[in-house]
Amino acid sequence: MTQQVHVPPFAVIPGVQVHRVLAGQEQSTVELVEKAYRLHGEGETVNPPSYFLRFPDRPTSRIIALPASIGGDTRVEGLKWISSFPENVESGVPRASAVLVLNDYSTGYPFACLESSIISAARTAASASLAADRLTRERGRPRRVGFIGTGLIARHIHTYLAGTGWGFDEIGVHDLSSDHAVSFSAYLEQAGSGARITVHEKAEDLVRASDLLVLATVAPAPHIVEPEWFGHHPVVLNVSLRDLGPEVLLAASNVVDDIDHVLKADTSPHLVEQLTGNRDFIDGTLYDVLTGEVTPPAGRTVIFSPFGLGVLDLAVGKHVYDMVRERGELSVVDGFFHEVDRYGRSDAAAPCG
């Protein structure tokens, strides 16, 4: 006998609800992301290459599709559709906007659409915080952190570091826009970190003054190309992926989230592969670090380059959906799927969630 299945109701979860679930939950979000990384490393995910939609008349802009599937307890498929329009910033509008569609594991039907710029920033910051923790265990936690790029991602990364127990004596800030650097410094002051905050006019000065370096820019090509700046061997969170020249990576120990994914789209690691013709410069993945297969060296610069995996968005997005549903706050779109019976029978069993 054929097992009866039901089409789940379709819900829309706006940003205010996403924020309400994730705010103040940095530690648990990092744990969600770590679990997703472990599932990915164990082969319990499907994470195809991201697809980049580019525009000849707007070369700096793009929209990216990240399809993915994750197993384990999460068991969900979906797609993140995220745009990056850097020129928005000049008008006071955030650069990135995104939605996340979740698909039912059993039927394939989409059952939720979530505002996802917050989810994307949260999973990126959680990934960075997790990597910072694991990559510094052999050397002790850094006391000086520097941020190059001062937008939404930088703010989230600072929030996640603070929310998972990090404290710093000094925080350095550098941005091509002095106004943005000053605004980020004001945010840091309001956050009450207690650290001495310095705005650096030169990227070199910030790099040399940082034991933990966060790169969160929209740079399309390398602008930090001097390995000598890294002579003090910091840990680098290469979140924006294109700031560092090949020379810097070749002089460092390199950890990535997924080797095949990060060696695309002219990222800094991709440029190294094109230059050398091999992948020997990559020491391993964050999963390898989590499982003890790779131990980051204490006496060498360590660079973490995460391309960003769609399975992380699914893990965080499904958690948000579950929490909103448990609170009885789902906003369901009645009749979103007009026909849910194959033969169009009007007396077919009503769908249920």
Residue pair 311/280 in contact (Cβ under 8 Å)? The answer is: no
Residue pair 304/235 in contact (Cβ under 8 Å)? The answer is: yes
pLDDT for position 325: 97
Higher pLDDT, 86 or 182: 182
pLDDT for position 7: 84
pLDDT for position 349: 45
Closest CA to 72 of 108, 46, 109: 46
Alpha-carbon span 120 to 95, nearest angstrom: 13
Alpha-carbon span 172 to 147, nearest angstrom: 6
pLDDT for position 242: 97
Q: How many helices (H) and strands (E) does the chain have?
A: 11, 16
Alpha-carbon span 122 to 99, nearest angstrom: 14
- Write the pLDDT tens digit of every residue in 65-95: 999 999 999 999 999 999 999 889 888 888 8
Cβ neighbours of 299 (radius 10 Å): 8
End-to-end CA distance of the chain: 22
pLDDT for position 338: 78
pLDDT for position 352: 42
pLDDT higher than threshold 90 for residue 259: yes
- Write the pLDDT tens digit of every residue in 29-75: 999 999 999 999 999 999 999 999 999 999 999 999 999 999 999 99
- pLDDT confidence band for 287 (50 / 70 / 90): very high
- pLDDT confidence band for 4 (50 / 70 / 90): low
Higher pLDDT, 247 or 353: 247
Alpha-carbon span 321 to 324, nearest angstrom: 5
Alpha-carbon span 267 to 277, nearest angstrom: 15
pLDDT for position 91: 87
Domains within the chain, CATH numbers bracketed: 11-119+310-332 (3.30.1780.10), 127-305 (3.40.50.720)
- Write the pLDDT tens digit of every residue in 147-172: 999 999 999 999 999 999 999 999 99
Q: What is the pTM of this model?
A: 0.92
- Amino acid identity of 273? E
pLDDT for position 335: 87
- Write the pLDDT tens digit of every residue in 299-350: 999 999 999 999 999 999 999 999 999 999 999 998 898 777 666 665 544 4
pLDDT for position 351: 41
User: 């993945």: which residue's tokens?
Assistant: 285
pLDDT for position 114: 98
Closest CA to 130 of 332, 340, 336, 316: 316
Residue pair 254/230 in contact (Cβ under 8 Å)? The answer is: no
pLDDT higher than threshold 50 for residue 1: no
pLDDT higher than threshold 80 for residue 256: yes
